[in-house]
Amino acid sequence: MPQRHFPTFRACRTSAYSQLQRGRAKSGLLWGAVVLALVAGGGYWWYVHKQADGAKPAPAASAQNAGAGGRGGPGRGPGGMGPQMGGAQTQPVSAGVVDRRDMRVLVSAIGTMNARATAVVRAKVAGELIKLHFKEGDEVKAGQLLAEIDPRSFQATLNQVQGTLARDQALLKNAQLDLQRYKELQAQDSIANQQVDTQAALVRQYEGTVASDKGQVDAAKLQLSYTRVTAPISGRLGLRQADLGNVVNPSDANGLVTITQVKPIDAVFSLPEAHVSTLAQRLAERRDLPVELWDRDQKQMLGKGRLNALDNTIDTTTGTVKAKAAFDNADGKLFANQFVNVKLQVNLLENALTVPMTAVQNNYVYLVKPDNTVTQRKITVGTTDGNRVSVQGDLQPGDQVVTDGIDRLREGAQVSIIAPDKVSNVDQALETAKGQQRMPPNLPPEIRAKLATMNPEERRAYLQKLRAERAAAGGAHAPASAASAPQAAPASPTSAASAAASR
């Protein structure tokens, strides 16, 4: 009889535990599947209801779509997804007039002002400086007294030589009288001829001595006059190089002060050699060649003058020739060694067709037609004079071309012209008003024109209102408004202005 083996207690317990673990695992998987199904069903329900809400148009958007002819109607882009740029929307712009005028052909250069003459005022005699009769930077005339040196030693020398002169003049007078008496006695044959000749020689000796004494007196007077230092030329004084109490000498390198003659004054600049023949011919004909001087930023004119001369050689390294122009400098704005921008007029184009320089963009201008639409016109740009440029193209005098707002335009765009003076007036008024903040630079032109009609208090309140609207618009983030954003109307100028003001 075969033996039967029964499982032990440990083996039975292990088998039961394994079956229990497998049952728990199956239950966990079942509950996980149930949870996933519930989550999927809830997500699908939320998606369906969200799509239904998004399909409903907002009241304002529905009214706008109804007025625009529905989806894809007039005033909307392809598929009705937004307004067309330059289509139904009117763009505010500024415009300038095409006209004919004389245009100068200018050559620009960089120059340096040179004083007509420069003099270093030095003492001609050594001595102590006791008086100063000038202020630094003053305008002085030639011969004007500037300083005084102690004159006592020079006055004493003059007195000494004047005494010697007086003594020798007395001796000469006595010798002349003796010679006259000797000549009378010689006529009576009462004196030897030798004595008369000796007396005549003594007279000539004293005459020489007196002449030498007069020269010494003149020299002493001249030295004494040098103690009064005067201006050798007319011009503008520089900074003082010596103070009261200093002992000055003729050998001092810096002297007392420097004088530069700046009325008139010259400008030295270089011109391309291509203009040499034309300029040389006009100078030979003594024709005026006007020259203008501008500051470093070319915003302020410093003076007007005329070309005087050309150098006699051309610099081979730069291919330029030096030129010199003269300026009256009556107002004293020009200084020696001052940097200037030079504009030399070499020709004059008479009755040239011109447009404002700001109207030209990539050799095109936007012409405003009578129906307030714009069209592009290709032009050929010529010379520039100030804020005008000469052009050649299909334009007529009296036409209007867009000068501000070109970047928002395209062919056939509808525009409304805003007077540029209103925009400039409001810019100036807002910047100069006391306590008023500067106007944001990116306000639309129509808002800037509106601000031009307000007083400072109204402008301040209006700008604060725009900033408040911008802040309120920036804080609204509702899901419904976000969903209806593609169908909303384009931003109004007021909202654009508030956005600009907030920046």
- pLDDT averaged over every residue in the chain: 79
Q: Are 263 and 328 in contact (CB under 8 A)?
A: yes
Can you read off the two tokens belonging to residue 146?
A: 């500037």
| Cα four-point dihedral sign 271, 317, 340, 296 | positive
Q: Looking at 56-65, 189-198, 205-214, which range is the least confident one?
A: 56-65
Q: Give this prediction's pTM.
A: 0.54
293, 327 Cβ separation under 8 angstroms? yes
pLDDT greater at residue 212 or residue 26? 212
Distance, CA of 409 to CA of 403 (rounded, Å): 11
What tokens appear for 369 in the block? 């037609």
Residue 480 has pLDDT above 90, yes or no: no
* pLDDT tens by residue, 33-92: 666 666 666 665 555 555 444 444 443 333 333 333 333 333 333 333 333 443 458 888
Structure tokens at 141: 């005339």
Q: What is the per-residue pLDDT for 176?
A: 94
How many other CB atoms are there within 10 angstroms of residue 23's CB atom? 10
Mean pLDDT of 11-40: 57
Residue linked to tokens 């882009």: 77
Q: What pLDDT score was predicted for residue 197?
A: 92
* pLDDT range class, residue 458, cuts 50, 70, 90: confident
pLDDT at 148: 96
Q: Is the pLDDT of residue 116 over 80?
A: yes
Give the number of other CB atoms < 10 A from CB of residue 371: 6
- Rg of the chain on CA atoms, in Å: 50
- Maximum CA extent, the chain: 215
Q: Are residues 356 and 96 in contact, defined by beta-carbon separation less than 8 angstroms? A: yes
Q: Which of 449, 491, 460 is nearest to 474 (CA)?
A: 491
pLDDT for position 324: 95
Least confident of 40-49, 128-137, 273-282: 40-49
Residue range 456-463: mean pLDDT, rounded: 78
* Portion of the chain with pLDDT greater than 70, in percent: 72
Beta bridge partners of residue 265, listed in sequence order: 115, 327
Query: Does the pLDDT of residue 493 top 60, yes or no?
Result: no
Cβ atoms of 247 and 128 within 8 Å: the answer is: yes
CA distance 283 to 57: 80
Contacts with 395 (C-beta within 8 Å, 6 or more apart), sequence order: 98, 353, 355, 365, 367, 377, 379, 401
Distance CA 333, CA 328 (A): 10
CA distances in angstroms from 69 to 26, 58, 74, 86, 244, listed in the order given: 62, 16, 6, 19, 94
Calculate mean pLDDT across residues 483-492: 39
Residue 321: pLDDT band with limits 50, 70, 90: very high
DSSP assignments along 374-393, one per residue: EEEEEEEEEEEETTEEEEEE
Spatial distance between the Cα atoms of 243 and 266, rounded to a whole number of angstroms:
32
Question: Which tokens in the block code for residue 299?
Answer: 């915003």
**How confident is residue 487, by pLDDT bands cut at 50, 70 and 90?**
very low
* Residue the block writes with tokens 């003053």: 138
Q: Tell me the range of 44-53, 310-319, 453-462 where mean pLDDT is highest.
A: 310-319
The pLDDT, as a whole number, for residue 503 is 44
